[in-house]
Amino acid sequence: MQDQILIEMTGVQKWYGGYQALRNVDLTVRKGEKIVLCGPSGSGKSTLIRCINRLEAIQQGSIVVNGHRLDDSKAIDVVRQDVGMVFQSFNLFPHMTVLQNCMLAPIRARRISKTEAEATARKYLERVRIGDQANKYPAQLSGGQQQRVAIARALCMQPKVMLFDEPTSALDPEMVKEVLDTMIGLANDGMTMICVTHEMGFARQVADRVIFMAEGQIIEEGEPGAFFRNPQHARTRQFLGEILAHH
């Protein structure tokens, strides 16, 4: 079961109008793998993960998630249930409490009862250590707390894989750690994860593979030790140099 493939991208090409954002991307993600995706701004990282839950359509190639091909329109709802997503800007519903935010999608998409949805929501809110804030509205929480709610909300759908799109880059520095610690906890529990992040300490600590993208292509990938110690491409070395100079 360890070798079960959850995501298979083959020859993926993606254009926004005349601009090619993904160039011939091949990526295989197995159950339990933790992948960190890095690269300069505009290199296609966000586009890549948005294609995996079909927030963006691709024009060529194929993406198979847990056995479902994404170009099969009937599969999209199934795939969205299997794939949890956490955005840079939290995307919580402001007019709903934390608890209601976490109950909405399971009731609508998984058609479970309110009682069950509430029990699940409370369980995951406890897990991200925010159970005591369940009745507050998002605006009453700090950014770090809101992002932990967003993680709990995604977990309530019991996804097979979690996608993170720069989850800490909108946060004040003192809140980054609480969100990274939550993600580390998830990783240690065995969640399959693809994380777009520039937090290289996180990459070293949890990633099985670090993937470097530039100009819509996967340039190189490796386990973090080798990737950071001995990057193969000049473009990767330049990027890592810039990142390290910033941190």
Give me the residues that bind ligand ADP (CB under 6 A), please.
16, 19, 21, 39, 41-47
CB 227 to ligand ADP: min, Å: 18
Task: Yes or no: say if 163 and 86 are a contact pair by the CB < 8 Å rule.
Answer: yes
Residue type, 37: L
CB 17 to ligand ADP: min, Å: 6
Residue closer to ligand ADP (CB basis): 106 or 167: 167
DSSP state of 122: H
CB 197 to ligand ADP: min, Å: 11
- H/E segment holding residue 175: helix 173-188
Place of tokens 């993960």: 49
d(CA 108, CA 98): 17
CB 220 to ligand ADP: min, Å: 16
Residue closer to ligand ADP (CB basis): 50 or 148: 50
* CB atoms near residue 193 (< 10 Å): 23
Nearest alpha carbon to residue 61 among 16, 19, 26: 26
Print burial letters for 10-40: b (CB count within 10 Å at least 16), e (below 16): eebebeeeeebbbbebebebbbbbbbbbbbb
CB 213 to ligand ADP: min, Å: 7
CB 194 to ligand ADP: min, Å: 12
Place of tokens 């505009």: 42
Residue closer to ligand ADP (CB basis): 151 or 218: 218
Residue closer to ligand ADP (CB basis): 24 or 142: 24
Looking at the chain, how many residues does it have?
Answer: 247
d(CA 182, CA 158): 16
DSSP state of 167: T
d(CA 127, CA 181): 12
CB 113 to ligand ADP: min, Å: 38
Residue closer to ligand ADP (CB basis): 16 or 93: 16
Residue closer to ligand ADP (CB basis): 207 or 211: 211
Residue closer to ligand ADP (CB basis): 41 or 115: 41
